Amino acid sequence: MQWPSHGGQPERLRKMFGLAAARPVLDFSANLNPLGPPDDVPELLAKAFDQVRRYPDPHYEEPRQAIARAEGVPVGQVLLTNGGAEAIFLVAHWLQGKRALLVHPTFGEYERACRQHGLNVTSLFLANPPCFEWPLEQIVEHLADADVLFVAHPNNPTGTMLRPSALHLILEAARQHDCYVVIDEAFVDFLPQHASCTPWLREHPHLILLRSLTKMFTIPGLRLGYVLADEAVIRELAERQMPWSVNALAANLLPHLLANHEFIARTRRWLAVETDYLKSSLSALGFETSPFNANFYLVRDGRAGRWSKEKAVTEAERLLAFLLGRGIVARHTHTFKGLEGGWLRLAVRSREENAQLISSLSDWMEQS
């Protein structure tokens, strides 16, 4: 079976399971903020429409300065990118032919970018599901033989975080071995403000941060992200970036998004409430989840730990099909190394949508 490589593709899943396309669905497979886009985005895009008649500023001075102000870094440490994906591939392009370290399960585009640019990949794995503990000793040991470590923080698909002390240990070891640490903070805006590693850039020139605005503000079609790194690293990445990779509408919108502090604060309050609701509800039904902090999580039937691997995968596929029949689209995990289909990934949605999910999962438990 040819599983979709990303979430947000409900039509492909419908075709795979032979379900009618007429029924509306709730898409829990894409990790997007259900509160967005902010109300003023359509008006801002309409006002900026005339900019499509001109080429964007090739240096993107205004949006880069807005990022620098928001992050408290010099503008020379900022590179605007066509979403987080371009940032990942730029780093891989810059380090082509070198050695990469990945910790699975994690976002599949890291390995795809490394393979495309000829990096030799070493894979480690999170331990003890459903806890999904980071193998710190193994990571530190393998940094001696790596040129770059990719870390999703929060990790996708588990929604888990590294403790600050663990991050500090990794960064110090990477400094000793002249290894770059790429921390993908695509979902960090959903977490408390202190969760970002931006302040650590001052003391760790080998640290590269990747950011995305598409998840928080629900604008994945615009493709908008950026890199924060040492100025020398930014110059190297900029030399490899395609000219005008970010369109004028997205670049013009960025300063307004970063200034919308009320929307970000409201989103964080919403997520804290819904996370508590989901964790308690799922546990009461007998489901296991990853210890998530972000706006997504892994879930499986709590009995799966006693099943064979084959049965766990089969039951996860049956649950995916059951939810799809109820109009709920989950993200399969067949394309995540270390999971191989034995879990589902779900986004945190609105209370009404989350309640529909819990009701459907309750029905699943009663029937099974």
- Residue 195: is its pLDDT beyond 70? yes
Which band of pLDDT confidence, cut at 50, 70 and 90, is reported for residue 1?
Answer: low
Judged by average pLDDT, the poorest of 192-196, 222-226, 244-248, 260-264 is 192-196
pLDDT digit string, tens, across residues 72-117: 999 999 999 999 999 999 999 999 999 999 999 999 999 999 999 9
pLDDT (0 to 100) of residue 206 = 97
Distances, alpha carbon 201 to alpha carbons 72, 206, 309, 315, in Å: 11, 8, 42, 44
What structural domains does the chain harbor?
10-30+262-367 (3.90.1150.10), 41-259 (3.40.640.10)
Dihedral (CA of 270, 64, 214, 7) sign: negative
Chain centroid to Cα 127, Å, comes to 20
pLDDT (0 to 100) of residue 11 = 65
Give the HSE-up count for residue 149: Cα atoms under 13 Å, Cβ half-sphere. 29
- The alpha-helical segments, DSSP class H, found in the chain are 10-17, 41-47, 61-71, 83-94, 109-116, 136-142, 164-176, 231-240, 248-258, 261-285, 309-325, 351-367
pLDDT (0 to 100) of residue 192 = 85
Q: Which residue has the tokens 């599901």?
A: 129
CB atoms near residue 239 (< 10 Å): 10
Do residues 256 and 250 make contact, with C-beta atoms less than 8 angstroms apart?
no
pLDDT digit string, tens, across residues 30-70: 999 999 999 999 999 999 999 999 999 999 999 999 999 99
pLDDT digit string, tens, across residues 253-294: 999 999 999 999 999 999 999 999 999 999 999 999 999 989
